[in-house]
Structures are given as C-alpha cells and as structure tokens.
Amino acid sequence: MKKTNTHIIPQTKGGVGKTVLSMILATLLYEKDKTINVYEIDDNNNSNIKSNILNFKSIEIKESEELLDEVYFDSFSEDENIINLVDCGGGNDTKSILNKLSQNDMVGNNYYVPIFDDIDHINNAIDTIKLIRGFDKDANVNLIFNRCFSTEQKDIEAQFIGVFGSEEYEIESRVKELDYDNIFFIPNTNIFSILKAKNISLLDTYLHAIDLVANKHEYQKKWQQEGKESFSKKMKMFRLGKRVIELIEDVAPLKKALKG
C-alpha cells in the first residue's frame, strides 16, 4: 500500500496541542514548490491563523465529508507537491473523522497523536490509536509527547510517569498499550501562545526569522534609523525569531515520520 501524503492529527482528548502540532508539521514539510493545506475540523474550537503561505481552513464536522473527499482525491493524484494536514477536534470530533476515513477506506495515512503527562491524555491516546488500528492496518502512527520540560530520556520518563511507570511509586508501565510506530518529543515553550495572540503562523514566522538572521546587519541598520523605540521593538521580534529557529531545530527528528 502506497503511503499517502496526508497527515492526520487525532486525539479523543481536547486541549492536547493538536493545532500546535499541525503548525510544526506544516513548517517541517514546507518547500517552495509545495502546496500545504491545513484543515482544522472542530465544532468547538475555530482558529484564525493568518498565513501568506499555508492554505488554512477551519470547518465544522458537518462540512467534513466533502473536504475528506477532496483530500482523498489529492492522494490519488500522486502529486507529491500537494500536502494535506487534517487537525481533528477532540472527543466526538476525532471519532467522527476517523469513522469517515474508515467508511471511505482511506488508509495508509500518517497519524500524529499528541499527549501531555496527564493520565487522561494517556488513556485517550490509547483509545485513539485503537480506533486507527481498527480500520487502517497500514497506518503510520506517531506518538507525540508534548510540552516536555527536557528531552533527556530520564527526564522524559520522570515527567511522563503514567506512560513509563515507576517502581518507586508502584505505577505500571503502559508503553505496550500504546501501539505506535515512532515516538517524538516537543519541548515546552510559550512561543505558540505568542504567535496565537498575534494570529501569525509558525511557518511564516520561521521563514521571516531565517531572513532576519541571514541579513541582520542590514535590518538592524534600518531599525536604528527609525529610532530607539522602534529598534527595541524590532529587536524583541528578532530574538523571538531566533527562538523559533531553535525550536524547529529541536523538533527536526519529526521529519523521519513525515516521510511515511
């Protein structure tokens, strides 16, 4: 079975960072000649992400059937320059989308299931993966540990004790219950809160940051001519841009999963 260029972010638990993850994946997938469509299918949380590069659309479940047909159509075209990201809402929204995929026999997709260290998130991740495996035997399932305080193995295991268990606290490991193909980590950061407040996509910010860093002397000369107050404001954005670049470098291992 050929892997489709479709990337789906499901979790039956809401508020686990699915939209954040979709922005990260879109940034990692970006190439100049590619068209990246990001679809948020959620009856309870509609984002308003502005982008000059991404085709972002927030829709309700009732509109999803026609949209998924469009996504499926793109997969048959075998055009590797068209990439679809589907961000599913929590609870019944995710169940509904997975059910529609099952009814369409839309299989062989790449799935990314995010969790925090809350025990409920782990239970929901197990349920979500079971739903995926129930109809898509060719699925590439990636478990994403979100908001990691550290990417050191011992720190990950200590933070996500509900997954890895603990002999000290007599907590059983649940790793075997999480039937994933790959596991990845996203560091804890306030970058996404800042970008959400400004309604700017991560990809747009990242590309602008690359340009700023590459041509910083030219930009800083221009800002200096605008006065101290303007210079200070622009330098704050410059520093944020450098943090965004570092973040993308930190999550670069996810590119392995994006290849399917």
Domains in the chain, CATH or no CATH each? 6-199+244-258 (3.40.50.300)
The sign of the CA dihedral 258, 68, 41, 114 is negative
Q: Which pLDDT tens digit goes with each residue over 200-259?
A: 999 999 999 999 999 999 999 999 999 999 999 999 999 999 999 999 999 999 887 775
Cα separation, 75 vs 37, in Å, equals 13
Phi, psi angle pair for 190, to nearest 5°:
-95, 5
Backbone angles phi, psi at 191, to 5 degrees: -55, -45
Q: What is the CA radius of gyration of the chain?
A: 19
Could you report the per-residue pLDDT of 74-111, keeping only the tens digit for each? 877 777 889 999 999 888 899 999 999 999 899 999 99
